[in-house]
Amino acid sequence: MTIERNPTRTVKIGTVSIGGGNPIAVQSMTATHTSDVDATVAQIEALTEAGADVVRIAVDSPRDAKALEEIRQRTSVNLAVDLQENYRLAEVVAPFVDKIRYNPGHLYHHEKTKPWQEKVEFIASVASQQDCAIRVGVNCGSVDPAQKEAFDQDDSISPMLASAWEHCELLDGLGFTNYCVSLKDSDPLKVIEVNRRFAEKRPDVPLHLGVTEAGIPPDGVIKTRVAFEQLISRGIGDTIRVSLTVPNDRKGEEIDAGRGILEDIANGRVRSVVNFNTDGLNIISCPSCSRVENEAFVQLAEDVKAMTNYAKEHSVTIAVMGCRVNGPGETDDADLGLWCGPKYVNLKKGPVELGRYEYDVILDHLKTELDIVIAEKQES
Ligand code: SF4
């Protein structure tokens, strides 16, 4: 089946080019501690062997940045770096990577009085000097607060779009065009809508597709497939990542799943339907990365799925997140949220904190709250 792809411009990420009619590149991310150079290099190599075109690494501290220098010396794989709040680390890491991902919603945390435009200008100038690509990574759980305020509370799509479009405009104005955009949500239907609307206005900007916090396979693969099939069949998408909650030694499954979905789409084996059923229990969980604060996280996500099986007919969303960086924000929209610290798991009901509990008792507390949520929904 020939799919007419959107006429996106070419973006170069090391030895790989995305957009401009190039094959859709498949990405994944390491989940080892970045400062553990041996383990991180081993995981990069394993992901590359599985077929990854680009491997992303999280860098949160000068210590991680130092490790990155050594990692670069030991692998020639195309590397992307995930910057969190400290945008200035871009300068330290750019010489060792091929792409820098920043999240517009995180640009407010450091140097609060400095306008975000100046921070983007800094990242773009560093990227330009080091021949790095940029990804503007907009995420449903951490949207630019100014954009969130400008729209109706029930409209989660428009703030994401407005944020992405204004960053594109700024980068274009700076003369920096070696960038792509991602707009991720944990709901595949929202991923379809937000990317479709983005591409309508900016068909020239390459898109990195992903369903964030898709969860444990096979559910995580199914949710991702729904979004990718609908978008890629319509020519939208230049690089993909399947985010799965799997243990470190199974990270290659993200690549296998991504390649399998692409192959099926290319061969016309499209299985999902637009009115994908979102009723019933929905467990979203992050794919884990180097920021995970307790290795028990993946097991916890699996235990949550098993324990809550009795409630599978109820329309309840439970979010399970691996760390404090994204956990607190990205559990706000779930009925119940868990985010993991080193010793305790924090339990939330919507944006409200209910308490923090040790790993061996959290499931009991979750069950109590789940029963309350089910009863409340039945009454309303
Ligand atoms: S929630 Fe934390 S541990 Fe999970 S993928 Fe996001 S940053 Fe990594």
Residue 2 lies in a domain: no
* pLDDT of 140 over the 60 cut: yes
Q: At residue 142, does pLDDT exceed 50?
A: yes
Is 242 in a helix, a strand, or coil?
coil
Query: Which residue, 241, 266, 291, sits at the end of a domain?
Result: 266
Nearest CA to ligand 1 atom 6: 326
24-57 pLDDT per residue, tens? 999 999 999 999 999 999 999 999 999 999 999 9
For tokens 């939208």, name the residue.
236
Is 277 contained in some domain? Answer: no
**Across 258-279, average pLDDT:** 77
Residue 98 near residue 79 (C-beta atoms within 8 A): yes
Averaged pLDDT of the chain: 94
- Other Cβ atoms less than 10 A from the Cβ of 209: the count is 24
- The rounded radius of gyration (Å) of the Cα atoms in the chain is 20
Contact call for residues 147 and 162 (beta carbons, < 8 A): yes
The verdict on 259 and 336 lying in the same domain is: no
pLDDT for 330: 87
pLDDT at 274: 47
Q: Which atom of ligand 1 is nearest to the CA of 297?
A: 3
Ligand 1 lining (C-beta closer than 6 Å): 286-289, 291-292, 321-323, 325-327
The predicted model gives 369-375 an average pLDDT of: 97
Q: What is the pLDDT of residues 313-335, one digit of tens each?
A: 999 999 999 999 889 988 998 99
Of 254, 288, 290, the residue with max ligand 1 atoms within 8 A of its CB, to mutate for a pocket test, comes to 288
pLDDT in tens, 77-116: 999 999 877 899 999 999 999 999 999 999 988 888 899 9
Q: What is the mean pLDDT of residues 262-269?
A: 90
Residues 290 and 260 in one domain: no
* pLDDT value for 18: 98
Name the E strands within 70-194.
79-83, 99-102, 133-139, 179-184
Q: How far is the CA of 60 from the centre of ligand 1 (A)?
A: 12
Least confident range of 64-68, 80-84, 256-260, 274-278: 274-278
Residue 275 lies in a domain: no
pLDDT for the residue numbered 84: 77
The last residue of a domain, from among 203, 231, 266: 266
What angle, rounded to 10 degrees, do the helices at 188-201 and 219-232 form? 20
With residue 62 as reference, give the H or E element that holds it.
helix 62-74
CA 9 to ligand 1 centroid distance, Å? 30
Quick one: pLDDT at residue 278?
62
Amino acid (one-letter) located at 188: P
Section 193-222 average pLDDT: 96
Are 300 and 204 part of one and the same domain? Answer: no
Nearest CA among 44, 166, 63 for reference residue 116: 166
Mean pLDDT across the stretch 4-32?
96
Ordered strands of the 317-321 beta sheet: 282-285, 317-321, 336-340, 344-349, 352-358
Instruction: Answer yes or no: do 132 and 29 share one domain.
Output: yes
Give the pLDDT band of residue 297 (cuts 50, 70, 90): very high
Assess whether 261 and 291 both reside in one domain.
no
Q: Which of 211, 321, 346 to mutate to test the pocket of ligand 1 (most atoms within 8 A of CB)?
A: 321
pTM of the model as a whole: 0.92
pLDDT of residue 373: 97
Residue 48 domain-assigned (yes or no): yes
Rounded to the nearest angstrom, the distance between the alpha carbon of 1 and the centre of ligand 1 is 36
Whether residue 202 sits in one domain with residue 162? yes
How many domains are there within the chain?
2
Q: Is the pLDDT of residue 198 over 70?
A: yes
**Over residues 14-25, mean pLDDT:** 97
Residues 81, 35 share a domain: yes
Q: Dihedral sign, CA of 191, 218, 29, 111?
A: positive
Residues 254 and 148 in one domain: yes
> Which residues span the domain enclosing 145?
11-266
pLDDT average, residue stretch 57-69? 91
Residue 5, domain member (yes or no) = no
**Does a structural domain hold residue 220?**
yes
Which helix (H) or strand (E) segment holds residue 80: the answer is strand 79-83
Q: Is the pLDDT of residue 279 over 80?
A: no
Q: In the beta sheet, which residues pair with residue 345?
A: 340, 357
For 126, list phi and psi in degrees, rounded to 5: -65, -45
Ligand 1 geometric centre to CA of 207 (Å) = 21
Report whether the peptide linkage leading into residue 247 is cis, meaning its omega lies within 30 degrees of zero: no
- Looking at residue 164, the DSSP 8-state letter turns out to be H
294 and 242 within one domain: no
125 pLDDT more than 70? yes
Same domain as 179, residue 222: yes
Question: Is 145 a member of any domain?
Answer: yes
Residue 171 Cα to chain centre, angstroms: 21
CA of 4 to the centre of ligand 1 (A): 34
CATH number, domain at 295? 3.30.413.10
Predicted confidence band of residue 62 (pLDDT cuts 50, 70, 90)? confident
The DSSP call for residue 23 is P
Instruction: List, for residues 158-191, the tens digit of each pLDDT value.
Output: 999 999 999 999 999 999 999 999 999 999 999 9
Residues 144 and 207: their CA atoms lie apart, in Å, by 19
Strands 344-349 vs 352-358: parallel, antiparallel or unpaired:
antiparallel
- pLDDT for 301 equals 95
CATH number at residue 84: 3.20.20.20
DSSP class per residue in 311-332? GTTS--EEEEES-TTTHHHHTT
Indicate the range of 75-89, 117-131, 359-373 predicted with least confidence: 75-89
| Domain end point (choices 215, 231, 266) | 266
* Rounded-to-integer distance, Cα 293 and Cα 144, Å: 25
Question: Which two structure tokens, joined as six digits, stand for 169?
Answer: 């405009």
SS3 for 126?
helix
Q: Let me know if residue 260 belongs to a domain.
A: yes
- Do 143 and 57 sit in the same domain of this protein? yes
pLDDT(372) > 50: yes
- Give the span between the Cα atoms of 111 and 163, in whole angstroms: 20
Question: Based on the domain organization, do 190 and 306 belong to the same domain?
Answer: no
User: Ligand 1: distance of its center to the CA of 6 in Å?
Assistant: 31
